[in-house]
C-alpha cells in the first residue's frame, strides 16, 4: 500500500474538518507527531486492538467498527480520570474500498470531534482487517485513578447499567428485534466512555477500573492490585428492565456480573464520601454495590440476606 497510503491518508484522514488542539504542536505527516503535555500534568497511554471476526462480527458496518474501537480505547482513559489529548490509528485492511474508508473515517472524525481527541498519526497496512488505536490523555501529576489504591472499608460503586453490552451482543447473535432492544444494541455498538465521570472522580475515588471483562473479573483485578478483598451485593447491581425482558431476571443478573463489554466504571471510595458521591452529577447514574474488605477472599457475592452466593454453583455461568 506504499503509494496509495499517502493518498488514502490525505483523502480520508486529514483536512480542516479533523480536529486539532492547542496541545497538538504538529499533527500527522512527519516522522512523528509533536504533542505538548502541559506543565504539572502526567501523560496517560493505552492501546487496544480489535480484529475482525474476533472482536466484532465479520462484515460489520465500518462506522460501527470505528465507533466501537475508539470508544473502547477512550474508556481506558476514563478509568484513570484522564482528559483526552490525542490518538493514533494503525489500520490494517485487505483492500482500500472507497465506501468502507469513507464510512470509517467519517465516524472516526465525528467521534474525534465529540471527545476532543485529535488524530495525530497512524499507519495504514495491507492485511486482514484490524484496528489498533492508542489513546493519550493527561491528568494532574500524581492524581490519576489507579486500580491499586482501594482500602479496606472503602465502598464500591459502578456507573450506569451493567449487562447491557452482553445483552446487545445477544440481540445481534439471536437476531432479536432491533427496535425493541435499541438501548442494548447501542450499549454494545457505541459504548459510552465515562470520561466526565472519571475526571469528576479525581480526588474522590480511591481506585477505579473500567468494566470490559465483566464486573466480577474487573473488580477482581482491582482488589488484587490493591491487596484487598470485596463484598458485592447481588441485588444492588444495576440492571435494566430491557435486559430482564430479553433474558429474564436471573440471566440478566448473571450478564451484569460476568458479561463484559459494558465500559462502565467500577470505583471505590472512602465511606465518609458517600453522600458527596451520591449527590455529584457524573453525567451518568452511580450505584453503590458493595464494600472493600480485608485481603484474602477475592470478590464475595452476597444475597439480600448477606449470605454468600457461589456463582459457579448456581449454574448460571453457562455462556
Q: How far is the CB of 130 from a second copy (least distance, A)?
A: 6
Exposed (0-12), middle (13-18) or buried (19+): which is 148, by Cβ within 10 Å? middle
Quick check: 32 binds a second copy (CB under 8 A)?
Answer: yes
Quick check: 46 binds a second copy (CB under 8 A)?
Answer: yes
Q: How many residues bind a second copy (CB under 8 A)?
A: 62
For residue 41, what are the β-bridge partners? 140
3-class DSSP state for residue 55? coil
Quick check: 274 binds a second copy (CB under 8 A)?
Answer: no
Q: How far is the CB of 150 from a second copy (least distance, A)?
A: 13
Radius of gyration for the chain, computed over Cα atoms and rounded to the nearest angstrom = 20
Q: Hey, which residues between 190 and 219 contact a second copy (CB under 8 A)?
A: 208-210, 213
DSSP-assigned letters across all residues of 56-114: B-TT--HHHHHHHHHHHHHHHHHHHTPEEEEEEEEEEESS--HHHHHHHHHHHHHHHHH
CB 252 within 8 A of CB 181: no
Q: How far is the CB of 204 from a second copy (least distance, A)?
A: 17
Quick check: 147 binds a second copy (CB under 8 A)?
Answer: yes
> Residue 253: which H helix or E strand, with range?
helix 249-258
Could you count the other beta carbons within 10 Å of the beta carbon of residue 218? 23
CB 105 within 8 A of CB 167: no
Q: Contact with a second copy (CB under 8 A): which of 9, 12, 13, 33?
A: 33
Quick check: 128 binds a second copy (CB under 8 A)?
Answer: yes
Could you give the CA distance from residue 282 to residue 278 in angstroms, rounded to a whole number?
Answer: 9
Could you give the CA distance from residue 272 to residue 275 in angstroms, rounded to a whole number?
Answer: 7
Stretch of 40-48, 63-71, 150-158, 279-287 contacting a second copy, by CB under 8 A:
40-48
- Name the residue with cell 480542516: 16
Stretch of 78-86, 185-193, 251-259, 290-298 contacting a second copy, by CB under 8 A:
78-86
Quick check: 117 binds a second copy (CB under 8 A)?
Answer: no
By C-beta, is 93 or 181 nearer to a second copy? Answer: 93
Quick check: 125 binds a second copy (CB under 8 A)?
Answer: yes
Quick check: 44 binds a second copy (CB under 8 A)?
Answer: yes
Quick check: 123 binds a second copy (CB under 8 A)?
Answer: yes
Q: Contact with a second copy (CB under 8 A): which of 4, 10, 17, 54?
A: 54
Residues near a second copy (CB under 8 A) are: 2, 25-26, 29-37, 39, 42-55, 75-77, 79-80, 82, 86, 88-90, 92, 120-123, 125-128, 130, 132, 134, 136-137, 139, 141, 144, 146-148, 208-210, 213, 225
Amino acid at each position: 500500500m506504499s503509494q496509495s497510503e499517502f493518498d488514502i491518508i490525505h483523502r480520508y484522514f486529514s483536512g480542516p474538518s479533523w480536529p486539532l488542539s492547542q496541545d497538538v504542536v504538529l499533527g500527522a505527516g512527519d516522522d512523528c507527531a509533536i504533542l505538548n503535555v502541559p506543565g504539572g500534568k502526567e501523560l496517560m497511554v493505552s492501546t487496544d486492538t480489535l480484529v475482525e471476526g474476533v472482536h466484532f462480527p465479520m462484515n460489520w458496518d465500518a462506522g460501527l467498527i470505528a465507533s466501537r474501537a475508539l470508544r473502547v480505547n477512550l474508556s481506558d482513559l476514563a478509568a484513570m480520570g484522564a482528559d483526552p489529548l490525542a490518538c493514533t490509528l494503525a489500520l490494517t485492511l485487505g483492500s482500500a474500498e472507497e465506501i468502507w474508508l469513507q464510512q470509517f473515517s467519517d465516524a472516526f472524525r465525528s467521534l474525534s470531534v465529540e471527545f476532543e481527541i485529535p488524530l495525530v498519526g497512524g499507519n495504514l497496512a495491507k492485511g486482514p482487517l484490524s484496528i489498533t488505536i492508542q489513546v493519550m490523555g493527561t491528568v494532574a501529576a500524581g492524581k490519576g485513578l489507579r486500580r491499586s489504591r482501594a482500602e479496606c472499608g472503602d465502598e464500591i460503586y459502578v456507573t450506569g447499567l451493567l449487562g447491557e453490552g452482553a445483552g446487545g451482543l445477544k440481540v445481534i447473535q439471536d437476531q432479536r428485534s432491533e427496535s425493541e432492544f435499541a438501548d442494548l444494541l447501542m450499549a454494545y455498538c457505541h459504548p459510552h466512555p465515562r470520561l466526565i465521570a472519571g475526571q469528576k472522580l479525581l480526588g474522590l475515588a480511591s481506585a477505579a477500573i473500567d468494566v470490559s471483562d465483566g464486573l466480577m473479573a474487573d473488580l477482581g483485578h482491582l482488589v488484587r492490585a490493591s491487596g484487598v478483598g470485596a463484598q458485592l451485593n447481588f441485588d444492588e447491581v444495576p440492571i435494566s428492565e430491557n435486559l430482564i425482558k430479553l433474558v429474564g431476571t436471573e440471566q440478566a443478573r448473571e450478564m451484569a456480573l460476568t458479561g463484559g463489554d459494558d465500559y462502565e466504571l467500577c470505583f471505590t471510595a472512602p465511606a465518609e464520601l458517600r453522600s458527596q458521591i451520591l449527590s455529584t452529577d457524573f453525567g451518568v447514574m452511580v450505584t453503590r454495590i458493595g464494600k472493600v474488605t480485608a485481603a484474602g477472599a477475592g470478590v464475595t457475592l452476597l444475597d439480600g440476606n448477606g449470605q454468600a452466593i457461589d456463582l459457579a454453583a448456581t449454574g448460571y455461568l453457562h455462556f
